[in-house]
Amino acid sequence: MAMSESSFAGSASSEKRTLLLRATGRAVTLPVLLGFALFFPAGRIDWPSAWALILVYAGGIYLTDIWLIARHPGLARERLIIPRTAERWDRRIISAVNFLLIGVALPLAGLDRRFTWSPPLPAAVHAAGLILLAAMFLFTAWAMAANGFFSSAIRLQNDRGQTVVAGGPYRFLRHPGYLGMILQFLSIPFVLGTPATGLPVLVIAGMYVYRTRREDDFLRKELPGYAEYAGRVRDRMLPGIW
């Protein structure tokens, strides 16, 4: 028996509520995790740069989630409900990145703040880092708007009819989203004014570069038309370089 139009509408509405609950849950837990990782090692909460980082980072993720749920619910589901078909090596990389950020980089920033390992940076440096962080959320959102298959996990989305995307920033770069995310991470030492976070953040950036190469190889083998697209758009992330 065919589903009625009202049944389809009700199903879509129910899914949006589920996605909204997941997004809101992440919006609540992420600032708590970030705050604990920063303020506990610092031994204080009167740290404006840390509050600014939490507000922009967690707020940027939440606003992106809300925008996707409203405008691109299929992509929101893909990003908020990680499919079990994701590549195992990719899940390990994401777990390692989360550990390096929450368990290493941010606590190091807090310790730097507590023990004053690094000299103060000018306010302009903090501001530039914060602007870069916010700008890269917008840049990544542009990539998401152009690419309805912008998943959080590396997998071939046959269930969603995945095809090659060549619009928006994908006219110039094959993986603009990774460039945006890498620059987000690299902005953190400048936002917080803690060079001690530089090394783990560089390791995270290196892991994303590796992830980009692995995903590119995966798509060349598995996604019809991607090899031809890669022949036209030569650069993965850095124009004229790589």
Using one digit for the tens of pLDDT, what is the confidence trace for 156-170?
888 889 999 999 999
CB contact set of 52 (below 8 Å; sequence gap of 6+) = 126, 130, 191
Give the tens place of pLDDT for each residue, 11-34.
667 888 889 999 999 999 999 999
| pLDDT for residue 13 | 79
Comparing CA positions, the residue from 109, 100, 130, 126 lying closest to residue 43 is 109
* Mean pLDDT in residue range 122-150: 95
| Tokens (6 digits) for 168 | 């928006």
8 Å CB contact between 80 and 22: yes
CA gap 128, 122 in Å, rounded: 10
Phi, psi angle pair for 181, to nearest 5°? -70, -40
CA gap 131, 141 in Å, rounded: 15
| pLDDT for residue 49 | 96
* Mean pLDDT in residue range 59-75: 93
Burial bucket for residue 5 (CB in 10 Å: 0-12, 13-18, 19+): exposed
CATH placement of domain 7-232: 1.20.120.1630
| pLDDT for residue 14 | 83
CB contact burial 16-40 (16+ within 10 A = b; e otherwise): eeebbebbeebbeebbebbbebbbe
pLDDT band at residue 242 under the 50/70/90 scheme = confident
| pLDDT for residue 10 | 57
Give the tens place of pLDDT for each residue, 90-102.
889 999 999 999 9
Residue carrying the six token digits 């405008």: 71
Asked if pLDDT for residue 7 goes beyond 80, the answer is no
pTM of the model: 0.89
Minimum mean pLDDT range among 13-27, 102-116, 192-206, 216-230 = 13-27
Asked if pLDDT for residue 4 goes beyond 70, the answer is no
CA gap 57, 133 in Å, rounded: 8
- Average pLDDT of the chain to the nearest whole number: 91
Domain residue limits, the chain? 7-232
Asked if pLDDT for residue 8 goes beyond 70, the answer is no
Alpha helices in 147-225 (DSSP H): 176-192, 198-222
Comparing CA positions, the residue from 116, 126, 105 lying closest to residue 193 is 126
pLDDT band at residue 1 under the 50/70/90 scheme = very low
Phi, psi angle pair for 176, to nearest 5°? -65, -30
pLDDT band at residue 210 under the 50/70/90 scheme = very high
CA gap 189, 171 in Å, rounded: 31
CA gap 162, 8 in Å, rounded: 23
